[in-house]
């Protein structure tokens, strides 16, 4: 996953975050393992993204899944017919993504799927451009949201869109997404998140505006007995579509 903290100035990569997610790579695809919350949330996230991309831009798009980890969303979006590049700076996560793709070849039969161990900065320098850039559960790991969104905007083709999913910084998210998930229920490894870095919708809107973007769509994501569902409740998890102003 992309992040910023203990790396050279101007980089969106954190060596601490790379090490953290590399350590989880071998169990990333275990639906009952440390990435269980992402497995449960993934159908909602991917369905929400796919519907909005088709509504705005067509049926088969070039999509960048930045901070893709081992490829949960990448595979699902490719299976829906998009041409997906999954990028992560954690090499073991990319190895796990490629291994899963090799053993589940039907997952990408509708679109194309490839993975690259790289960064947003490198893609920008290489001149890569996409119809859509998605960064799921990533922005809460970066220190400079304004700069991060500006970087993502530079990777868009004209009329392209960005999708961000993240955690709101509220007392409820502290109780459930941080303390509850990491220390009580043990749904996530302890230390996965820093609650102080959670991003409120208002802060996301301001960062988007600073990057020449605006929030065009926003929804909460809440768990339930039948799986995760879209909601107006953004107090913990939410997903947003950003477009150029």
Q: Supply the pTM of this predicted model.
A: 0.88
Neighbours of 164 (CB within 10 A): 27
Would you say residue 8 has pLDDT above 70?
A: no
Would you say residue 145 has pLDDT above 50?
A: yes
Each residue's pLDDT tens digit, 75-131: 999 999 999 999 999 999 999 999 999 998 755 568 999 999 999 999 999 999 999
Cβ-based burial of 58 (10 A; exposed 0-12, middle 13-18, buried ≥19): exposed
Question: Cα separation of 142 and 198, whole Å?
Answer: 10
Number of folded domains that form the chain:
1
The answer to whether residue 5 is domain-embedded is no
Q: What is the mean pLDDT of residues 133-146?
A: 88
Would you say residue 12 has pLDDT above 70?
A: no
Q: Which residue has the tokens 């961000």?
A: 164
The answer to whether residue 6 is domain-embedded is no
Max CA distance (Å), the chain: 45
136 assigned binding-site residue: yes
The answer to whether residue 225 is domain-embedded is yes
| Per-residue pLDDT, 2 | 38
Which one, of 235, 203, 201, lies nearest residue 218 by Cα? 201
212 assigned binding-site residue: no
152 assigned binding-site residue: no
| Per-residue pLDDT, 24 | 79
The answer to whether residue 1 is domain-embedded is no
Neighbours of 23 (CB within 10 A): 14
Average pLDDT, the chain: 87
168 Cβ contact list (under 8 Å, min separation 6) = 198, 199, 200, 201, 234, 235, 236, 237, 238
| Per-residue pLDDT, 1 | 38
Please report, for the domain that includes residue 121, its CATH number: 3.40.50.150
Give me Rg for the CA atoms of the chain: 16
The answer to whether residue 59 is domain-embedded is yes
- Hey, what are 236's tokens? 């913990």
Cβ-based burial of 101 (10 A; exposed 0-12, middle 13-18, buried ≥19): buried
Range of the domain at 47: 15-244
Higher pLDDT, 192 or 32: 32
Element of type H or E holding 5: none
Q: Which residue has the tokens 């890569």?
A: 128
Helix H segments across 104-193? 120-125, 145-153, 171-173
Higher pLDDT, 1 or 126: 126
220 Cβ contact list (under 8 Å, min separation 6) = 230, 231, 232, 233, 234, 235, 236, 237, 238
Q: What is the mean pLDDT of residues 142-163?
A: 92
Total length of the chain: 245
Choose from 81-90, 138-147, 171-180, 183-192 the range with maximum mean pLDDT.
Answer: 81-90
What single string gives the DSSP state of each residue in 8-21? -TT-S--HHHHHHH
Confidence of residue 10 (pLDDT cuts 50, 70, 90): very low
Q: Are 178 and 6 in contact (CB under 8 A)?
A: no
Helices 91-103 and 72-79: crossing angle in degrees, nearest 10, is: 40
88 assigned binding-site residue: yes
Would you say residue 144 has pLDDT above 90?
A: no
């Amino acid at each position: 996953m992309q992040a910023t903290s203990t790396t050279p100035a101007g980089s969106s990569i954190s060596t601490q975050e790379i090490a953290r997610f590399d350590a989880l790579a071998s169990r990333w695809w275990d639906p009952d393992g440390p990435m269980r919350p992402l497995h449960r949330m993934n159908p909602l996230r991917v369905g929400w993204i796919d519907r909005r991309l088709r509504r705005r831009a067509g049926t088969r798009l070039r999509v960048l899944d930045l901070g893709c980890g081992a490829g949960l969303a990448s595979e699902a979006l490719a299976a829906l017919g998009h041409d997906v590049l999954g990028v992560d700076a954690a090499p073991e996560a990319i190895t796990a993504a490629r291994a899963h793709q090799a053993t589940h070849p039907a997952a990408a039969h509708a679109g194309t799927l490839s993975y690259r161990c790289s960064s947003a900065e490198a893609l920008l320098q290489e001149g890569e451009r996409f119809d859509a850039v998605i960064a799921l559960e990533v922005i809460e790991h970066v220190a400079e949201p304004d700069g991060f969104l500006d970087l993502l905007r530079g990777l868009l083709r004209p009329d392209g869109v960005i999708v961000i999913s993240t955690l709101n910084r509220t007392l409820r998210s502290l109780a459930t997404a941080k303390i509850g998930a990491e220390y009580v229920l043990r749904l996530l490894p302890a230390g996965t998140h820093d609650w102080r870095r959670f991003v409120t919708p208002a802060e996301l809107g301001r960062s988007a505006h600073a990057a020449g973007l605006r929030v065009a769509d926003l929804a909460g994501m809440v768990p339930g007995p039948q799986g995760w569902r879209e909601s107006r409740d953004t107090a913990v998890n939410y997903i947003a579509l950003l477009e150029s102003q």
